[in-house]
Every structure is written in structure tokens, then in C-alpha cells.
Chain A
Amino acid sequence: MASSGQACIEVKFVTKSYGKTVALDDVSFNIPCGERYALLGPNGAGKSTTLKLLVGLLKPDTGTIRINGYEPFSSEAKSILGYLPEDATPYRTLSVRENLEYIAALRGVGNVPEATERFLDELSLREYERAKVGKLSRGNMQKLAIALALIHNPRIVLLDEPLNYLDIPTQERVFKMLKSLDSTQIVSTHIMSIATRLTERVIMISRGKIVWNGTIDTLKSLEQGEEPIESVVARLMTNAG
């Protein structure tokens, strides 16, 4: 088991294509255990593909990925990974509680009722526990999706636009929840305020390549005059493209 300081996520020379479209091109990076990274990049840069590769939903064409030293599709890696895709939809024919219990059971969570109750309360889903997921509002569906990604208390958390569709009070609750987790985190987002509040470091991807890797503080230091941080990010992405 890797400890703080060691790389929990290792990506070496990874390439992934969809047909003739190259999504990731010879990408390498390491994320030490306990660190929180933001994954930034324009639309179609390869952020979601990166997360899908890390979680073992896709296989790289070339290169290697290790999660705590294990292959991403191994059961060891699966047990410590928590993943939330963009626009996640849980099982539509199950109720909120059934979704939580089903995924907790699939993941072999020790005390399923306790884990379920905790998330029903923490994310204010209690009043919808018997509701069909297909009938939920998009915001409540996102809250449930966050709960499902975290129900097994994962040590590595990969989140793609986690605050989409959430109202401001819920966003604050999710901020607190994620900050309180003792885990390695990668948050893919387009919104800089989310990146700066949730993470300390940034990996910037453009056209399938890493174009910048460093701390949020370093990124802020690149601001010119009154330039907002979003403009710095846009400049770095544009220059790289």
C-alpha cells in the first residue's frame, strides 16, 4: 500500500484513440497519495478519457497506468477508487435508497444500512429515498451520483464536474464533504473557482497532451496585472494549441 508522498496514481506514456481520433497522446504524470489535483482543459481535450482510463473503464492503446501499484481494472484498484462521471445517471428503475444499497452491496461495503443512512442525511436525500430515480430532478440525481461514488469510502476519488446542477447550499455541503475526505482526488472541471477551492495543484490538458502541471499558487503567479486566473488558464491553453 502506498503512503503519503508515494505516487498513488502513475500514468506513463499513455496513448488512447477512438478510431482515427487521438484522445490522449503520450501522456505521463504522477499523483502522490493524499494530493488533490484539478484536471483542466478545453472541451474535447481528453479529460474525461483520462478519468475513464484511470478507473479502468477504458484500456490504453499504449503505456501503463497504476493505481496504488495495481492495474486499474484489478479488484484491488476498484476497491479503492471512487468515480463520478460528468452527467452521471444512476439506475433509473431503482429508488434512491435501492441505488445506494445496491452499489454498497456490489462494492462489498461492510455495513450497508449505516452507509446508506449517512448519505441520505448528508446530501439531504432522505425525503426522496423511495423515489424512482428516473423521476428525480437533475440536481437530486447529481446528489445521489455523488453519494454512489463515495459510498465505499474510497481512498482515491475521481470526479468529473461534480458540482454540475447543484444549488448553492448543496454545492457548499459537497465542498465541505470533499474537503473532509482523507483521499487522493482528481477533479475535472471547467470552473476555476471549483478548482481553486477543492484542489492545490493543476494538470492542464489540451488536444490530448499535458500542457501545464503545477500548483494553483504558481498558476496565480502568472497573472498579469488585474488579469483573472481564468484568463491565465485560457492563455496557457491557447498558447499550447
Chain B
Amino acid sequence: MLAKLVKFVLLTRFSKPLLGLVTFFLAYDVVIRTVTTGNSPEFSGGFSYYAVGASIFFIAVSLLFGGLFVLKSDRDYLLTLPLKRRELSLSLFTAQFVGSGITILFLFGFYLAGAGTLQTTIVLGVDLAILAAVVTALGVVSNILSTRVRAGLSVVLGTWCLSSILGNPFTPVSPFTGDLLYGSITLFGFAAVTVPVALRELAYLELGSMRSILRATSSEYKKTMSFAGKRPVQAIYSYHLSFLELVGRVNLAGSTSYRAARVRTSTVLIISSALGAIYLFLTGLSPFADLLSRPVVIVLPILMGIITLVLMSQGTFSNERGWLAFTAMDPAVYLRHLLLSRAVSTLAITGPFAVANIVLAFRGVPAAVNSSIVLLVTVSSASILATYLVARLGAVQQVKEEGMMPGQFDLKQLLAIIPTYIVIILIVVSEISLTASIIIAGVLGILSLLMMLIKGVWRGIAYRLTERGFV
């Protein structure tokens, strides 16, 4: 029965081509790692920073944006069936793991190549699977935690992981920075706490997480916007410059959460300014400045790029309502201003860090100049292009009900991640050479500007979205 249930749960959430591709890459990964085992020790330098940075990112994102791979039909049918709770919970956890945890295996897989011996390869392989399970579990558990607790836990766990760089062997990421024994024990202990809690939550989903999704936020806004007296285009800018919207499949780090929320742009600006100041202190003024400035200045634009790309490419259309906007004005004009206003509003996140980088550049950190160009121009331009591409591929889903998947996750949606990686490559190239960063920023800026000017492109997107069920 368990096998049947797992199969049913997987196939109702993921298309067969998608599952096929995931299986292929996973098998390919294992083969490649096995063949290359022992060729190159990868526990130091950039690889350590990568392991720690990426782990913090995965853990924080899972906690902050964690969601459930649950369909509306689950609520109405699956969860009402007389199924054994243990089997239901394992099936749903498997789906969560395939949907989110597996990303870890792809992105960390190369660590196995540096394991050295067969025994350490096996231990590291198991560690990877456990880390993926932990991230998956945190994504589930986050649904029953308040925003403050989630944010607090992210900071605590992030700091814990970060301490591995300073030599602490007892962290969940220590196996990937060279402390295989103590790190593995710590990771296992961490998993022993988080995974059972997640399994329990999934077993009683209708009583726990789903109820908490419904009561998670209050139902009234304290501060509202007014559009009275505004012209049509002014109304669009007023809306999107006042608030940053987080709508759609929040698939940062493989986590999946279908949400519709908004945060005041001014609040975001205050928070990112504070973080920008801390960033400036740590990388330019603190005693650790020499140690931190190079890796952090390089990694920051990548993280910012991913956040902005996801915000734009997934969020722009997920909350869009064609029956209202596209029937009120020319979709080309509407979408042009919508994209521009959203791209500008994301500067509330990246802008303070760009300013901090300019200060760092004056203090003699050369990579900071490139980083500023990336944050101010490259990321914004790329996000407009990525938004177009994702919509053109039909890889975006309209969110009509929060907390639940609007439909099956298919191959197209996975392929839509590719532009993100292209942009990451472009950002990395920009970090290496100032000339490259100027050229890349210029080309992407001009391309996005040209694309915005062609009305036919956006009218085509509007028709395509409607044909794909957007209303």
C-alpha cells in the first residue's frame, strides 16, 4: 500500500518527464562521483565557502519560505481517506524530498569527488542525503511557525553553520568543510530532531500545517493604498513601488510555497539598508574584513541575483489577473509598466548593497565595483528578460489559492530555472573582469529595454497566459 501511495502522491504532484529527468540526473551524478572519487580534494578554500554559504541559504530559505507540496484535491479527498497516518506522512515527505531536498543533492554532489576513499565517499553521500532531508523537514516545519520564530531560527542556524568557517567542527555543514566525523554526528543529531517533527506534521496535515496556513496572517490591512486621482500608468507604479509582492511558487533553493503576500517597499529598504551597513562593516571595517571581503563580495551578487530573479520571474505573473488588467488597457502597455515598476522596486533589496559596494570600492576592494554594476544593472535587466522567458515557456502558474500547488509541477517549470543559471554564470564572469561586467550589463540593459519597447512581444505573452488558463 505504501508503494502505491508514494507513486500516487508523486505522480499527482510531478509530471512523468520531470521525474524521469530528475532520476536521470541523480543516476548520472552518482556515476560521475563514483568514477571521479579521490581525484581532487575539495574541502578547503572556495569549496568550503560554497558549502557553508549554500547550506545557510538552503536552511534559511526553507525556514522562511518553506511550503507544502499539497494540492487542493488533497485537502478535499486524499486527507479525508482512511489511510494509515504513517504511510501518508512518508508519501508526502517523499514528495517534499523530490520537490525540494533533491536540489541539495544536485548542487552539493561534487563534494563526493573530494572525499578521498570509498568509505568517506559513502559517509559523505549519506551526509548529503541527510542534509537534503533536514532542509526538506525544515520546509515542512516552517509552516507551523510564526514569521518571527522562522526568522529567528534562520539567524541562529545560519550563525551555527557559519561558525564552521571559524573552525567549529560541530555544525551540520562541517562534513563538507573537512570535519567528517564530528560533522556527520552533528548532522545526524540535527536530522533526528527535525525529520520526525516534519513527519508528524505531515501525518496530521489537516489538523496542523494546513490550518496554520489559513490562520497565518490577519485578514485586514492596517495601512492601505489609495489610487484615487491617479492616471492608469500612475496607478501601476503607485501599486508596485509601494509594495514588494511575494506571489507564486517561492522556489528559492527548491522550496515550494504558494503564497501571496506583500511587504512595504520602505520596510524592505530599511531592512536591506541595515543589512547593507552590517555587510559594509564586516567586509570593509571589521577585523575579519580581509578574510571576508573577497568571498562575500563575490557571493553576494549571486544570492541577490537569485532572489531578484525569482521575485520577478515567478511573482510577476502569478498574481496577475488578465480579466482585470488586460481588459482595462493594452496588455503591452500594462505589462511594460508592471515589469519596470517591479524591477525598480527590487532595487529596494539590492540598492543598499550596491551603495555599500561603491564604498568598498573606494576603500580598495576592486571586486566591489563589478559587484555594484551587477546589482544595479545586470540583475534588474536579467530579471526582466527572465520574466519574459518564463512566461513565454508557459512555466508560470497563477496562484488562485494560497498554500496549495495550483497544479502539477512539470518539466517546463524545471527548465525555466535554466535562465537563472545563465544569469549566475554571467554574474560570475562579471565578478572576474570589470570590462566583462560593463559589457554584460550594457548588453542585458539594452536587450531588456528593446524587449520592453516591442508591444507585440507582451501582447503575445498576454494571449499565451490566457490560453494556459490565466484569468
Contacts and interface: CB of A to CB of B under 8 A. Distances in A.
A63 interface: no
B466 A57 contact: yes
Given A57-B326, A106-B236, A134 B220 contact: no
Contacts of B400: 87, 89
A95 interface: yes
A86 B469 CA distance: 12
B231 interface: yes
Contact of B261 (A18, A57, A93, A113): A93
B74 to A, nearest CB: 19
A131 B463 contact: no
Interface stretch (A77-85, A197-205, A225-233): A77-85
A107 B228 contact: no
A90 B319 CA distance: 9
A59 interface: yes
B189 interface: no
Contact of B322 (A57, A81, A87): A57
Max chain B Cβ within 10 angstroms of own Cβ: one of A78, A92, A103, A148: A92
Nearest to B330: A75
Given A75-B329, A103-B328, A112-B229, A93 B224 contact: no
Interface of B is mostly: mixed
B219 A88 contact: no
Given A107-B328, A131-B219, A132-B219, A92 B224 contact: no
B462 A134 contact: no
A18 B467 contact: yes
Interface in B320-377: 321-330, 334
A102 B259 CA distance: 21
Contacts of A161: none
Contacts of A59: 463
A92 B399 contact: yes
A98 interface: yes
B230 interface: yes
Of the four ranges (under 10, 10 to 19, 20 to 34, 35 or more), the interface on chain A belongs to 35 or more
Which of B323, B399, B400 is most buried by chain A, counting CB atoms within 10 A of its CB? B323
A48 B86 CA distance: 43
A162 to B, nearest CB: 13
B301 to A, nearest CB: 28
Contacts of A95: 220-221, 224
Contacts of B247: 92-93
Interface in B419-449: none
Contacts of B471: 85-89
A105 B235 contact: yes
Contacts of B7: none
B240 to A, nearest CB: 11
A148 B324 contact: yes
B224 A97 contact: yes
A95 B232 CA distance: 18
Interface string B221-243: 10011111111101110010001
B262 interface: yes
B327 A81 contact: yes
A91 B325 CA distance: 10
A135 interface: yes
B245 interface: yes
B30 interface: no
B179 interface: no
B260 interface: yes
B260 A134 contact: yes
Nearest to B245: A93
A58 interface: yes
B221 A132 contact: yes
A58 B466 contact: yes
A226 B228 CA distance: 55
A139 interface: no
Contact of A93 (B260, B326, B329): B260
Contact of B228 (A18, A105, A108): A105
Nearest to A18: B467
Contacts, number: 118
Contact of A58 (B261, B324, B334, B467): B467
A57 B402 contact: no
B213 to A, nearest CB: 11
A132 B323 contact: no
A52 interface: yes
B243 A93 contact: yes
Interface string B307-322: 0000000000001011
Contacts of B230: 105, 112
B153 to A, nearest CB: 25
A101 B328 CA distance: 13
A78 B329 contact: yes
A98 B225 contact: yes
Contacts of B399: 92
Contacts of A113: 228
Interface string A218-236: 0000000000000000000
Contacts of B326: 56-57
A186 interface: no
Interface in B190-242: 217, 219-221, 224-232, 234-236, 239
B323 to A, nearest CB: 5
A55 B327 contact: yes
Contacts of B236: 106
Contacts of A132: 217, 219-221
5 nearest CB pairs, A to B: A105-B235, A135-B219, A101-B227, A105-B227, A92-B260
Given A91-B324, A93-B262, A106-B329, 10 more contacts: A57-B322, A93-B245, A102-B235, A105-B228, A105-B231, A112-B228, A116-B228, A131-B221, A132-B217, A135-B217
29 contacts: A55-B327, A57-B327, A57-B462, A58-B466, A83-B323, A87-B400, A88-B471, A90-B324, A92-B402, A93-B245, A93-B247, A94-B239, A95-B224, A98-B225, A98-B227, A101-B225, A101-B226, A102-B225, A102-B227, A103-B328, A105-B234, A105-B235, A106-B236, A107-B328, A108-B231, A112-B228, A112-B230, A113-B228, A135-B217
